[in-house]
Amino acid sequence: MIPFFNSWLSVRNNFLMHPILRVVYDPIFPLLNFYKSIPYVGFVTFVALIVGVVRDRRFSRYVRFNSLQVLLLDFVLVIPPYLITNAMNWFQTDEGLGLKVAEICGNGIFFLIGVLLLYNLGCCLLGKSPRFPVVSDTVDMQLTAFDRQF
């Protein structure tokens, strides 16, 4: 849910413009509002998962793998909305083609994160590790290196 919550910033305006979309995500809004109400929630979550879960060998490799994978996915998927927002500020595109391109990119990223979330939940419910092309290999190398070190 962490990448999903963090990607919310890229599409929040679409939910205001198109209320019908909000019906789909109404059950998630209270949890999202709670998550966003905590100061520095992204940093706190990152540190808590790294120190409390990923680096703690008492947790199974499955839990540690999924925790580190979600953190890396969050990091990778936060960059495009940040670039889109900054591009809009740089080019001062409050309307027209620039705004439409930013909306399309933001919606695409949000949709991608939603699909990844459903895939991840489905795999976890089946007891399998979700595999994402580059991210899973990177996480696997990090965990193997950490396990050898300690």
Which pTM does this prediction carry? 0.73
Are 136 and 70 a contacting pair, CB within 8 Å? no
**Backbone Cα Rg of the chain:** 17
Q: CA 133 to CA 121: how far, in whole Å?
A: 17
Give me the residues of the chain with pLDDT under 70, please: 7-18, 21, 81, 84-99, 150
Domain boundaries, the chain: 2-149
Q: CA 21 to CA 89: how far, in whole Å?
A: 26
pLDDT of residue 113: 78
pLDDT of residue 29: 77
pLDDT of residue 141: 92
pLDDT of residue 4: 72
CA dihedral 13, 22, 109, 139 (to 10 degrees): 130
Query: Per-residue pLDDT tens for 62-85?
Result: 899 988 988 888 887 777 767 766
Average pLDDT score over the chain: 79
pLDDT of residue 10: 58
pLDDT of residue 21: 67
- At residue 118, what are phi and psi to the nearest 5 degrees? -65, -40
Are 75 and 134 a contacting pair, CB within 8 Å? no
